[in-house]
Structure 1
Amino acid sequence: MIGFAVIGYGYWGPNLVRNLWSNPEVDLRWVCDARPDRLSGVPGRFPTVRTTVALADVLGDPKVDAVAIATPVSTHFPLAMAALRAGKHVFVEKPIAASSDEAARLVEEARRRNLILAVDHTFIHTGAVRKMHALVNEVLGDVYYYDSVRVNLGLFQKDVSVIWDLAVHDLSIMDYVLPEQPVAVAATGMSHVPGQPANIAYLTLFFDSPLIAHIHVNWLAPVKVRRTLVGGSRKMIVYDDLEPSEKIKVYDKGITLNDDASSDGDRVRQMLVGYRAGDMMAPHIDLTEALDLELREFIECVVNMATPTADGEAGLRVVRILEAATQSLGQRGQVVELSSGMVPA
């Protein structure tokens, strides 16, 4: 049985506690939050779980093997680093840290201490995204584009822009689904609330191959949209997270390119574009709660010392893109090259 503690009991912490409490492989020992009022309801729902406002109580408990961190982004690094130095495995909410330097230091610390570090990229554990990952590898052919829209009339935040709040989801999905990593990013956006970060942004990501990705995020939209299109040479996918059942649709649509045989030798050869329109298929999707699957995978990785799907390296890759996009946003869309190197072994 894995001894667990949850640090942070605000928005996401209760979901972590609920899932860990119901897991028979977990001994949920602590819930920690700096605000005592947030902890007041814990004993009534989870009577064997102790509560504390002191991080030292959690990290000083030798029966705590792992901690889950669900606190503001600015606190991820100091809390995760303290837990790793105390010998605890760490599961931390997205994004893994507020900078790539902090993320890289966490990855290195976990590696040096032989501890499991995972980041809560929840969406990659949904049945829909796992199915999309399989389809990209199996039926799409050459991937041409990844186009995502994530907009709603959302909660304006003072400490992070819409890129760090919403685009992080699409970047984590893209990191998991696409067969290669981007090499550069350009971002444009705007803030409509004086003194606050951008509430609307457009990211374009470039790759070494003829693949392009585009992400649109917005806190100031009249409707809620969660839709992704992935186009390939053989098939195309539409992923709509708001669909109640058919979240993934696979279209046998596209183009075919053929030489123009009528061209004579003195003319530039041209390609004739043909269109293919076949059937649409909506595959069966596993509807198991993603957070439950994600935490079960993390526990299995702790037991077997295996690598999580969203490990520290995945978190680092996403933060590098977030940083570069933020830099590009400040330069009115100038393309920023991405660092490709991982943390040295």
Structure 2
Amino acid sequence: MKVNIAVVGLGYWGPNLVRNFVTVPGASITTVCDTNPATFQKIKPFSSIKTVRNINDVLRDKTIDAVAIATPLSTHFILAKKAILAGKHVLLEKPMTQTSIQSQELIKLAEKNKRILMVGHTFIYSQAVRQIKKIIKRKDFGQVYYFDSTRINLGILQKDSNVIWDLAPHDFSIINYLFDTKPISLLATGSHFVGKKYEEIAHIVIKYENNINAYINLSWLSPVKIRSIFIGGSKKMIVYDDIQPSEKIKIYNKRIKTTENNITPFSPAYRSGEIIIPNLEQKEALLTEIEHFVECIQMNKKPLTGGLEGLKVVKLLEIASESLKTNLEVIIK
């Protein structure tokens, strides 16, 4: 069974969805929708794809099985709701919705109408993140101490959300995927300089069970683009640089071990060993994500990043927003 797809939204991310969908054997992208006809130039190489400006043209088309929604955050809920009620499966770009209440409603609607609802947390489908999960599960990595992420670049400023809602979903989803632990508290700070409403720089600290701390640095106002994650363990450490074209992961056999006795109450010993660079399959994460979406529709499978996973991220975003407003650490119940 071939799945007929419509992509809604041809801004920054939509053309990437189109480019990948056309390569998936089990999918046929038949339609794209955007209120701005000028965006149709972005898919000019794919002349067979129908272009429409009204979402209702997509929803009324009985030949369309699923929609991939890549529109501004403020439109996610209403467009996804309409699509599910019209009998379409939905791939919804991150973050899922503006509120956890909206996310919960979409989950219930999808279950009631027996539709696949999947959220585009693309990093979960990257070979690098999947390899990191395997590494930290091994006994020779030791206890995980911290997750330290820097996700900064110049722009792209959003019209309806701050830098946390734009960039933090990547880190929140990665943490949820990597670590089998629950958050205890969250502290977020941020500032806005260019605009008057939304923060362009933010820092987040999350404390988790099992004594894991996450430190997340986000910015739209950096002159350079950095996408790096450091994960420290009691025996080894990982550096993940997503900007690197090939050597994205490096495993450092480094650690600090302390010994205490009557003569030397605090005596740290530094260990430095080899650096291991795993060989990763060179496959675009978005393509893996899209293949998974199509497979879930064809096989009626539960998506790896389904509605519940999207909801978890939105809840953390809401807590971060609360902390940002009060300048206080929020205890997570």
TM class by shorter chain equals: over 0.9
Task: Please name the residue that 2:224 is paired with.
Answer: 223
Could you tell me how far apart the structure 2 residues matched to 1:179 and 1:311 are?
17
Large movers: runs of 4+ above 6 Å: none
**How much has 1:271 moved relative to structure 2?**
6.8
Helix, strand or coil for the counterpart of 2:209? coil
| Residue in structure 2 matching 1:316, options 305, 311, 318 | 311
Mapping of 1:210-249 within 5 angstroms?
210-249=211-250
Could you tell me how far apart the structure 1 residues matched to 2:252 and 2:280 are?
16
Mapping of 1:142-157 within 5 angstroms?
142-157=143-158
Where structure 2 has 5 or more consecutive residues not aligned to the other structure, the ranges are: none
Could you tell me how far apart the structure 2 residues matched to 1:238 and 1:194 are?
33
Helix, strand or coil for the counterpart of 2:152? strand
Could you tell me how far apart the structure 1 residues matched to 2:227 and 2:188 are?
20
| 1:274 aligns to 2:275 (yes or no) | no
Mapping of 1:244-255 within 5 angstroms?
244-255=245-256
Could you tell me how far apart the structure 1 residues matched to 2:42 and 2:279 are?
38
Task: Please name the residue that 2:278 is paired with.
Answer: 283
Could you tell me how far apart the structure 2 residues matched to 1:221 and 1:47 are?
38
**How much has 1:192 moved relative to structure 2?**
1.0
Task: Please name the residue that 1:97 is paired with.
Answer: 97
Could you tell me how far apart the structure 1 residues matched to 2:42 and 2:132 are?
39
Task: Please name the residue that 1:266 is paired with.
Answer: none
Could you tell me how far apart the structure 2 residues matched to 1:26 and 1:152 are?
34
Task: Please name the residue that 1:198 is paired with.
Answer: 199
Bigger drift between 120-129 and 33-42 goes to 33-42
**How much has 1:41 moved relative to structure 2?**
5.7
Could you tell me how far apart the structure 1 residues matched to 2:104 and 2:187 are?
23
- Conserved 8 A contact 1:321-1:338: no
| 1:331 aligns to 2:332 (yes or no) | no
| 1:87 aligns to 2:82 (yes or no) | no
**How much has 1:294 moved relative to structure 2?**
0.6
| 1:293 aligns to 2:288 (yes or no) | yes
Bigger drift between 198-207 and 274-283 goes to 274-283
Helix, strand or coil for the counterpart of 2:132? helix
**How much has 1:133 moved relative to structure 2?**
1.5
Could you tell me how far apart the structure 1 residues matched to 2:79 and 2:158 are?
21
Could you tell me how far apart the structure 2 residues matched to 1:337 and 1:115 are?
35
**How much has 1:272 moved relative to structure 2?**
5.2
Mapping of 1:2-41 within 5 angstroms?
2-40=3-41
Given residue 165 of structure 2, which amino acid in structure 1 is its aligned partner?
Answer: W
Task: Please name the residue that 2:297 is paired with.
Answer: 302
**How much has 1:187 moved relative to structure 2?**
0.4
Helix, strand or coil for the counterpart of 1:278? strand
Task: Please name the residue that 1:116 is paired with.
Answer: 116
Helix, strand or coil for the counterpart of 1:45? coil
**How much has 1:36 moved relative to structure 2?**
2.2
Helix, strand or coil for the counterpart of 2:211? coil
**How much has 1:185 moved relative to structure 2?**
0.8
Kindly tell me: are residues 25 and 259 of structure 1, through their superposed partners in 2, closer, same or farther at Cα, counting changes over 3 Å? same
Could you tell me how far apart the structure 1 residues matched to 2:218 and 2:15 are?
26
Could you tell me how far apart the structure 2 residues matched to 1:194 and 1:239 are?
31
Task: Please name the residue that 1:126 is paired with.
Answer: 126
TM-score under structure 1 normalisation?
0.91
| 1:66 aligns to 2:60 (yes or no) | no
Task: Please name the residue that 2:52 is paired with.
Answer: 52
Number of matched pairs: 331
Could you tell me how far apart the structure 2 residues matched to 1:32 and 1:221 are?
33
- Conserved 8 A contact 1:151-1:224: yes
**How much has 1:169 moved relative to structure 2?**
1.5
Bigger drift between 6-15 and 192-201 goes to 192-201
Task: Please name the residue that 2:188 is paired with.
Answer: 187
Could you tell me how far apart the structure 1 residues matched to 2:159 and 2:45 are?
32
**How much has 1:309 moved relative to structure 2?**
1.7
- Conserved 8 A contact 1:32-1:55: yes
**How much has 1:274 moved relative to structure 2?**
3.0
**How much has 1:155 moved relative to structure 2?**
2.6
**How much has 1:54 moved relative to structure 2?**
1.8
Given residue 131 of structure 2, which amino acid in structure 1 is its aligned partner?
Answer: K
Kindly tell me: are residues 41 and 143 of structure 1, through their superposed partners in 2, closer, same or farther at Cα, counting changes over 3 Å? closer
> What is the percentage of aligned positions where both structures have the same residue?
43
Could you tell me how far apart the structure 2 residues matched to 1:338 and 1:109 are?
27
TM-score under structure 2 normalisation?
0.94
Helix, strand or coil for the counterpart of 1:306? coil
Q: Deviations over 1:99-151 (max 9, x none)?
A: 11111111121122222111111122122111112112124222110000111
Where structure 1 has 5 or more consecutive residues not aligned to the other structure, the ranges are: 264-268, 340-345
Q: Deviations over 1:22-42 (max 9, x none)?
A: 222112221111122223564
